[in-house]
Structure 1
Amino acid sequence: MTKIDAILERALRGERLTFEDGLMLYESDEVEKIGAAAHQIMLKNHPEFPITTFVIGRNINYSNICDTFCRFCAFYRPSGHQEGYLLSDEEILQKIKETIDVGGTEILMQGGTHPNLPFQYYLDLLRKIKSHFPQITMHSFSVAEILKMKEVSGLPLEEVIRRLHEAGLDSLPGAGAEILDDRTRMKISRRKGSWTEWIHVMEMAHRLGISTTATMVIGFGESMEERVLHLLRIRESQDKAVASGKVGYLAFIPWTFQPENTHLSVEKVGPEEYLKNLAISRLMLDNVKNFQSSWVTMGPEVGKLSLSYGCNDFGSTMMEENVVSAAACTYKVNTNLILDLIRQAGRVPAQRNTRYEILRIFEEHERAENDFVMQN
């Protein structure tokens, strides 16, 4: 039995993997074997298999004005730039209405760290959205945006998150995690804050009863040690939530950095490295139940493959996504194509909500009543 075999066997027995185990997995070239073990772990967490879920949602990038200036971002514009924008409330409400009209349940609303928007802007916007569409789930704002709200308001972090929650924020996405180690963070996004600040915001949300997701982006030139540390830090944070009876991280979503049109010159990570990272994440994060495919960055075909490397969820239809598309890697995927891809992988597609509750199981050959293509 090889060392990799022994690690995988321990993981399948339910034993928690160590830093050294994770590092050895990253250094291994036995990607298919690691993927097969990750698939088995997924099956243990999801007895409803072969059901594979997805959510009908829309990304609304309400503004591209940002003063964080991340080297890897092709989306932001500085304040005063002629290409900078801030959507009107009416435009945002219209986008949400369009989402609901096609059966959507989730809005991922994010922008830059806008230096000139008062905290009250976000509270008023959330209240207006909920007054018009009380049924929509606002899975919105990044950690960086939350920290900017804290800065401009002068309020304690707990108060900022509490007021957002009371105004209509239902769930906090994991955007901005990138790599949870400061060596890489200071290289790519010095103004975005330390890894401990990211964790602190997430854990504060958990304490206030707000569920979140966690993310990971590889391909910044980070070391394998940093990748393992990222996973261990998410796992430790989730342990705290579970111990206190909170939901914590509902899902984990890893993807790869897309260097096109950015100021960061690195070699692009390929599909095999993505699948390997996904599988290792599933093995290491033994306390996170749901793993999302990242078809937006990797494409539909790799997204389909990811369902054999630890994913139980195909993510969001993402009616609109301007941040990733700014880096020239947006894949056009509509609801019916997602149904087809899930079926091609030998699974049964089901629509879920943000809380991973199944809303509708699609029978064989059943099409969605409404269809849309992601718009940019």
Structure 2
Amino acid sequence: MTSSAVSTKIDTLLRHAADGGRISPEEALLLYTDAPLHALGEAADAARKRRYAGDSVNIATYIIDRNINYTNVCLTACKFCAFYRAPGHSEGWTHTDDEILRRCGEALDLGATQIMLQGGHSPALGIEWYERTFAAIKQAYPELTLHSLGASEVVHIGKVSKLDHAEVITRLHAAGLDSFAGAGAEILVQRPRTAIAPLKESGETWLSVMELAHGMGVESTATFMMGTGETNAERIEHLRMIRDVQDRTGGFRSFIPWTYQPENNHLKGRTQATSLEYLRMVALARLFFDNINHLQGSWLTTGKDIGQLTLHFGADDLGSVMLEENVVSSAGARHRSNRTELIELIRSAGRVPAQRDTLYKHLSVHADPADDPVDARVHSHFSSTALKLLPTGVPAAAS
């Protein structure tokens, strides 16, 4: 095919996808690798606008939540992870119930609506630990949504407690789990997944657990960690695997791509995704996922400037202020933000900022800058303990 013919085909595909038409994995790969960057972004933004009606088309959202990492003990030993410690390691720890509840209460006081409990695959934590913990949180703080764990944890808990996946999901949901995070997806394609996480369940198993959960009324998000040595074709195959499940269940609320962080882990940054590759993936995902409503841009792993640009490449959400995060930051993510800054990032991108909940319902639309919320305490950090604040509300130091 001549270069002119390829260019014509790309233009046709971009118009088709922007208008809501489905593109094949082969077509998606062509767009990802060869479409002009600005044309790709424009098509993705058109697809985003087409998806939302009325005033919502101009809105971009954020959420206030806390990611409570309850243990760093893990026997899965993923090569990209800098957070875990092997069972029996002197630096291993598991938070007490009281500490987890303290962090939940602190998050609620700062305006959080969601808690993400995520941690290592500890052989000491069976289903009873999770049931007790979730029930305690729900009893103390019924206002908080527990968007926590993921398919990998279901598989691990099932092994520890000798339960099938359906029973694990049933018991977690009954104890207070509201929805699953997309944790553990990394990349679902067999070759790169085995290379970076040989002890983790297969991508097919991860998807089967999510499909089972969706059928049981427990929705989730889907994620993608890019930049660990996967090929472009394998990146598209990851999307294809997710889209196929979404066709059957409709249970993925959003897709959240982010980039591998290179510090303090066995991969040592030998392969990474560039900012341009990331922006192309965000745009391609918006065009490819004609069946997933929301697309989140990552400022935590790519920086606030690239995070803001995702709003011009099809994203409708900038994720969380993230009152606490330890796993990705252990591998080198040092970007920090606060609610005021996220609101300004959204507004200066030409969008109307809005705080959302886990279901993407708008809790507060900040249409008038004069009415923007102001609270210096609502900021992100990457310390394993809450930052101590000076009387002014400014962080004193990470602990």
Cα distance in 2 for partners of 1:103, 1:137 equals: 12
- Structure 1 stretches of 4+ with a deviation exceeding 3 A read none
Tell me which of 241, 250, 254 is aligned to 1:251. Answer: 254
Count of residues in correspondence between the two structures: 371
Q: Which residue in the other structure is 1:264 paired with?
A: 267
Q: Which residue in the other structure is 1:216 paired with?
A: 224
State the TM-score, normalized to the length of structure 2: 0.91
Residue type at the aligned position of 2:238: H
Cα distance, 1:29 vs structure 2: 5.3
Cα distance, 1:99 vs structure 2: 1.1
Q: Which residue in the other structure is 1:159 paired with?
A: 167
Residue type at the aligned position of 1:23: L
Contact 2:356/2:364 (<8 A) preserved: yes
State the TM-score, normalized to the length of structure 1: 0.96
Q: Deviations over 1:71-99 (max 9, x none)?
A: 01011011111211111111111111111
Q: Which residue in the other structure is 1:182 paired with?
A: 190
Consecutive unaligned residues of structure 1, counting only runs of 5 or more, are: 243-247
Contact 2:262/2:332 (<8 A) preserved: no
Q: Which residue in the other structure is 1:42 paired with?
A: 48
Q: Which residue in the other structure is 2:333 paired with?
A: 329
SS of the residue corresponding to residue 298 of structure 1 reads coil
Determine whether 1:279 maps to 2:283.
yes
Matches within 5 A, 1:362-373: 362-365=366-369, 366-370=371-375, 371-373=377-379
Cα distance, 1:272 vs structure 2: 0.8
Q: Which residue in the other structure is 1:343 paired with?
A: 347
Cα distance, 1:14 vs structure 2: 2.3
Matches within 5 A, 1:292-307: 292-307=296-311
Tell which deviates more after alignment, 8-17 or 268-277: 8-17
Cα distance, 1:175 vs structure 2: 1.2
SS of the residue corresponding to residue 324 of structure 2 reads coil
Tell which deviates more after alignment, 139-148 or 165-174: 139-148
Residue type at the aligned position of 1:258: Q
Cα distance in 2 for partners of 1:305, 1:176 equals: 26
Cα distance, 1:143 vs structure 2: 1.9
Cα distance, 1:103 vs structure 2: 1.4
Cα distance in 2 for partners of 1:50, 1:141 equals: 32
Cα distance, 1:118 vs structure 2: 2.2
SS of the residue corresponding to residue 312 of structure 2 reads coil
Consecutive unaligned residues of structure 2, counting only runs of 5 or more, are: 1-6, 384-399
Matches within 5 A, 1:126-145: 126-145=134-153
Determine whether 1:147 maps to 2:155.
yes
Contact 2:181/2:221 (<8 A) preserved: yes
Residue type at the aligned position of 2:264: N
Cα distance in 1 for partners of 2:298, 2:108 equals: 23
Cα distance, 1:134 vs structure 2: 0.8
Cα distance in 1 for partners of 2:333, 2:19 equals: 39
Q: Deviations over 1:253-293 (max 9, x none)?
A: 00111112211142322211100011111111110010011
SS of the residue corresponding to residue 183 of structure 2 reads coil
Cα distance, 1:155 vs structure 2: 1.1
SS of the residue corresponding to residue 148 of structure 2 reads coil
Seq. identity, % = 43
Residue type at the aligned position of 2:208: H
Tell me which of 1, 8, 24 is aligned to 1:18. Answer: 24
CA RMSD of aligned residues (A): 1.2
Matches within 5 A, 1:64-103: 64-103=72-111
Tell which deviates more after alignment, 343-352 or 4-13: 4-13
